[in-house]
Structure 1
């Protein structure tokens, strides 16, 4: 279980939630400790530039979609780091407020 496991469970149950993530990887878009609101993915289309709560290779992130290739999404931070490619099943929610 990672830092976002509880949030993921609530998103899967259809709940929109707010929390204050910590860390500097999204600096410039989300500051450490800044309150964010994340909504369940539903049938929402995902595009490059969306900020999503996701899991990449077992790690949970609130990171950017850097690229879309068919049904795959390249996830990374706002400092140039890339986490890897995932499918929609690895995306649990999308940022709707900050």
Structure 2
């Protein structure tokens, strides 16, 4: 499977609003003490957690909203579909 983000590609990440996440979003989340980019593969709103998968789609497990720090809004300058409006940024164009 072709990865969503290849090695050395530039990404733009903004602070995430976990309540607005959807399956298919790429998030910056802490796993076992290290922060990685992960694909959101399922949501559990009642327990305030997201299921995260690696860059190639393998499921890694569940993590709480408090461990989701950011959302990837662009890869190599190309906006990610559906990522707009899911950050906690006050600026409408996403700049901080």
Q: Distance in 2 between matches of 1:83 and 1:28?
A: 15
Distance in 2 between the 1:76 and 1:88 partners?
15
Unaligned runs of 5+ in 2: 76-96
CA 1:43/1:32 → structure 2, altered by over 3 Å: closer, same or farther?
A: closer
Say if 2:62 is the partner of 1:85: yes
TM-score computed with the length of structure 2 as normaliser: 0.66
1:77 deviates by 1.2
Could you report, residue by residue, the CA deviation over 1:2-60 in whole angstroms, capped at 9, with x for unpaired residues? xxxxxxxxxxxxxxxxxxxxxxxx94311100000000114761111110010123232
Superposition map of 1:1-98 within 5 A:
27-42=2-17, 45-70=20-45, 71-98=48-75
TM-score, with length taken from structure 1: 0.65
Contact conserved, 1:56 with 1:85, CA < 8 A, in 2? no
Partner SS, residue 84 of structure 1: strand
Q: Which residue of 2 aligns with 1:4?
A: none
Distance 2:43 2:19 in 1: 14
Higher relative contact order (CA 8 A, sep 6+): 2
1:64: how far off? 0.4
Aligned pair count reads 73
Deviations 1:56-97 (A, max 9, x none): 232321010110012210011132322211111000100011
